Structure 1
Amino acid sequence: MKNEDLAEQPKLGLKNRHIQLIAIAGTIGTGLFLGAGKTIEMIGPSIIFSYIIVGIAMFIFLRTIGELLYQDPTQHSFLNFTTKYVGSRAGYFVQWTYWLVLVFVCVSELTAIGTYIQFWLPSVPLWLIEIVALALLFGLNTLNARFFGETEFWFAIIKVAAILGMIGTAVFLLFGHFSYSSLIQGQTYQGSVSISNITNGFSLFPKGIMNWVSALQMVMFAFTSMEFIGMTAAETENPQKTIPKAINQIPIRILIFYVGALLSIMTIFDWQHIPADKSPFVMVFQLIGIKWAAALINFVVLTSAGSALNSSLFSATRNMYALSKQHDRGKLTAFTKLSTHGIPLNALFLVGGLSLFAPVLTLIPQIQNAFDFAASCTTNLFLIVYFIHLYTFFNYRKSEDFIPDGFITPQAKITVPFVLLIFTVVFISLFLHTDTLFPALGAIIWTICFGSYSKFRHNA
């Protein structure tokens, strides 16, 4: 690449410590902090099995990404392999679809931020909170990109500390035989911290198997964007060493940050009493009467959503820049312009403007839960991208580029079809409820319409 080309690239400025901790915290999403409340209310303790099943599927999926990036780390993104092994038209479709996914991630995370801030400001309209929050993070993204890395670094520390603190608190209360009686929003909650909160009257499908299937989409949302770990590992000095290490640590992180946290929550209180629209992390400390700790945890989950929105704005902006450089240069040249700090400002303005869809959602009376709606839009578009990637992976396995002694996906002929099955069940589950039905239909319409455009009108 020529020097003048390098000068026109967005400046990253990420150090190794940024990449390593961001990769660890990348396994912790808003779907866990906020979405766990709804899934626990729907399926109770069997949520653990849901997270393990989807977690195994995501780990295998990440191994397929790792196998491709290990073979050719110069591609940096798993999306580029679709063009290489399926074709330019499929690559065009998947790259723009992934950009749209990132925009919907911005919308869902902005909705979550508004929900958390209302913990302190219940009388302030949600839409106003979302606009102010977006303005703040938008301003942060206009600065030098090293501020992004530093901000994400500290966000990551807070998220990791919160999960470990939750687990430590549960263990301390469990061995201390702690009991509580708390009045929250006019309702009295009584109970004691015990393993029996999980085991007594345990049922795999306490509210029916269809409820269990329906809850899978929120579990899936908690894991989406995890592919970012493989892509950040590909940006390091020795990707063929860091990619296997980063991906193979995923199962341990799932057990600690997801299974460990959920077991801790359900050990502390009866799962049947958790409100579906509240963060169970905040409710835990409210139930045991530590009001300041509840505010602290709310701050933690707020920073988690802020981190996710910050990184999504960053990623969507740079994806828009890359796509504008790669496709339709004559029509999208404006989005390739960089500021003096190396920021694609026009692309950032576009992503920020589209993120304002979040306050619009909160004002539509037909949408009962704006977060669920936005999360569903995110999940089903992610799944479409994931399906196309798995097809790309099979094509790679048939090509001459396949390295039998590389970073191989274990038992791919068995495990990859298992991933396809789980992803298909999750996608079907999106059609089972009103809040998720229309986003699922929208994803199908997008695939048919934009897929047709990509096939018949895009100049390969």
Structure 2
Amino acid sequence: MTTAAPTNTEPPKEQLRSTLRSHHLTMLAMGGVIGSGLFVGSGAGIGVAGPGIVLSYVAAGALTLLVMRMMAEMAAAYPSSGSFSVHAERAFGAWAGFTIGWMYWLTLVVVLALESTAAAVIVHSWLPAVPQWLLVLLFMAVFTAINLTEVANFGEFEFWFALIKVAAIVGFLLIGVLAIIGVLPGGDSGALDGDLLPHGWAGVAAGLTIAVPAFGGLEIVTIAAAESDDPARATGRAVRSAVWRIAIFYIGSMVVIVSLLPWSDEFLDVGPFAAVLDHIGVPAAAKIIELIVLIALLSALNANTYAAARMVFSLARRGQAPTLLARLSRTGVPWPAVLASAAFGFVGVVLNLLWPRTIFLHLLNAIGAVLLLVWILVACSQLRLRPRLPAASPVRMWGHPYLSWAALTAMVALLGLMAVRPDTRVQLISSAVLAAIVLTVGLIRGRRRIAATEK
């Protein structure tokens, strides 16, 4: 495939406002990945790997650390609201930026529907008199409104959301450690008696397919960097601090869970955090975790609305989306991009409510492997762009090019693992079909633009 010359990235007119601070970016990075996937979904990982899920999360955390370092290196050199889409375009041409940008945007707007619906289900269980559809409408309207105000307001909301989630994880770890050492009840369950790898290394590998997607969301910090007061330094600082802390939170949580409960406990599938707290004897454990999951969902709804709007705004600025979406308000907010992203989120909500097991399920499968495809293109872009990056950049990839190639090899191997596992094969095939469709559209558009230019 020939490499097309990249189009202009982020034209200088009408810039986004640089009002996000470093503490906003740090908490955005940390909060972006601490979601319902950790509080509820990690039970599935424990089911397939047993105590070996700890090793799965160690490997996933190491891979995430390398990918985020590569992403931060490019974001520090070329801060842009399009982030990895812009970097892919610089590295390989407009087709690459178009493909990964639109795939990521489609992923976010589908996830918006999932998150708003899940949040509505929780609140509806507390307030059954309030219709679920009305709660979805309320959540979508509130966070659309937040994203239409100054970006600093978004940053403050996300800062406090993330702080609550981090406090919840820290509290869980402290309670868990106290139980393990015998200060609190529940530490004598014999959870670690017997085989620590009940499904062998194959189980650990299978756990990777669940652990890696759980780290999705960190990439939002490189999108937000374009609206920070010091993009280069703030990006590196946020990624450095967030990745290590998140790895500790995830790995530490898994250690606590498998130390206190047998990996085959039937309640782990429902919610491992609630099961552990209930085992220790914490009153109303299920309700506490339910509240934290609600906060996590609303935080993700806020962050993903922001990221979707900035990505499609960047695509519009580069001529790869309707030019209307490149407009800014007087406060520097891409309001048409926010409204367009929220609108497609509403469409997804309708599909989820009407056809959850047909149309919406196909959409979920189609975005199942997009994160891994994004990460693979990040690694390819970093390897291609490294010789062009400023030598004085404040963020540099460790052990380049060896660790970059190691991360890329590991991700390709993970794709292979998804292909052989029946439960992930459908997601991989659906995501590949989506990628092929978007890529085809991007190539056709590129050829038409070249033909129009030659005329």
Return the TM-score normalized by structure 1.
0.81
Q: Name the residue aligned to 1:422.
A: 410
1:336-355 paired onto structure 2 within 5 Å: 336-338=326-328, 342-355=332-345
Q: Name the residue aligned to 1:202.
A: 195
Q: Name the residue aligned to 1:455.
A: 443
Measure how far apart 1:22 and its partner are: 2.4
Deviating more after overlay: 48-57 vs 406-415: 406-415
1:54-453 paired onto structure 2 within 5 Å: 54-73=60-79, 77-114=83-120, 116-117=122-123, 120=126, 130-176=136-182, 178-179=184-185, 192-194=186-188, 196-197=190-191, 199-204=192-197, 206-207=198-199, 210-233=202-225, 235-275=227-267, 277-327=269-319, 332-338=322-328, 342-356=332-346, 357-358=348-349, 360-361=351-352, 363-364=354-355, 366=357, 377-397=366-386, 399-401=387-389, 403=391, 407-431=395-419, 436-453=424-441
**Hey, what's the Cα distance between the residues in 1 that align with 2:352 and 2:423?**
12
Q: Secondary structure at the match of 1:34?
A: helix
Contact 1:268 1:284 in 2 (8 A): yes
Measure how far apart 1:163 and its partner are: 0.5
Measure how far apart 1:380 and its partner are: 1.1
**Hey, what's the Cα distance between the residues in 2 that align with 1:382 and 1:426?**
12
Matched, 1:24 2:17: no
Q: Secondary structure at the match of 1:96?
A: helix
**Hey, what's the Cα distance between the residues in 1 that align with 2:60 and 2:413?**
11
Post-superposition Cα deviations, 1:42-84, rounded to whole Å, max 9, x if no partner, equal 2221111111101111111112122223444478723322222
Measure how far apart 1:423 and its partner are: 1.7
Contact 2:268 2:275 in 1 (8 A): no
Aligned partner letter, 1:360: L
**Hey, what's the Cα distance between the residues in 2 that align with 1:400 and 1:344?**
30
Contact 1:167 1:261 in 2 (8 A): yes
**Hey, what's the Cα distance between the residues in 2 that align with 1:369 and 1:90?**
27
**Hey, what's the Cα distance between the residues in 2 that align with 1:118 and 1:36?**
24
**Hey, what's the Cα distance between the residues in 2 that align with 1:211 and 1:115?**
32
Measure how far apart 1:311 and its partner are: 0.8
Measure how far apart 1:236 and its partner are: 4.0
Q: Secondary structure at the match of 1:335?
A: helix
Post-superposition Cα deviations, 1:338-383, rounded to whole Å, max 9, x if no partner, equal 556654443333322322424534654646996xx77654441122
**Hey, what's the Cα distance between the residues in 2 that align with 1:85 and 1:58?**
21
Name structure 2 gaps, 5 residues minimum. 1-10, 451-455
Aligned partner letter, 2:195: F
Measure how far apart 1:260 and its partner are: 1.1
Q: Name the residue aligned to 2:3.
A: none
Contact 2:52 2:203 in 1 (8 A): no
Deviating more after overlay: 348-357 vs 51-60: 348-357
Post-superposition Cα deviations, 1:130-171, rounded to whole Å, max 9, x if no partner, equal 444334333433444333222111101101100000011112
Task: Summarize the Cα distance change of 1:12–1:131 in structure 2 as closer, same or farther, 3 Å threshold.
Answer: farther
Task: Summarize the Cα distance change of 1:20–1:207 in structure 2 as closer, same or farther, 3 Å threshold.
Answer: closer
**Hey, what's the Cα distance between the residues in 2 that align with 1:369 and 1:100?**
13
Post-superposition Cα deviations, 1:378-398, rounded to whole Å, max 9, x if no partner, equal 44112222222222222123x
**Hey, what's the Cα distance between the residues in 2 that align with 1:368 and 1:218?**
23
Aligned partner letter, 2:323: T
Contact 2:74 2:389 in 1 (8 A): no
Measure how far apart 1:436 and its partner are: 4.0
Q: Secondary structure at the match of 1:272?
A: coil
Name structure 1 gaps, 5 residues minimum. 180-191
Contact 1:58 1:223 in 2 (8 A): yes
Q: Secondary structure at the match of 2:401?
A: helix
Identical pairs, percent: 27
Q: Secondary structure at the match of 1:224?
A: coil
Task: Summarize the Cα distance change of 1:70–1:340 in structure 2 as closer, same or farther, 3 Å threshold.
Answer: closer
**Hey, what's the Cα distance between the residues in 2 that align with 1:66 and 1:166?**
30
Deviating more after overlay: 306-315 vs 230-239: 230-239
> RMSD between aligned alpha carbons?
3.5
**Hey, what's the Cα distance between the residues in 1 that align with 2:357 and 2:249?**
34
Q: Name the residue aligned to 2:453.
A: none
Measure how far apart 1:450 and its partner are: 2.0
Aligned partner letter, 1:354: F
Aligned partner letter, 1:393: Q
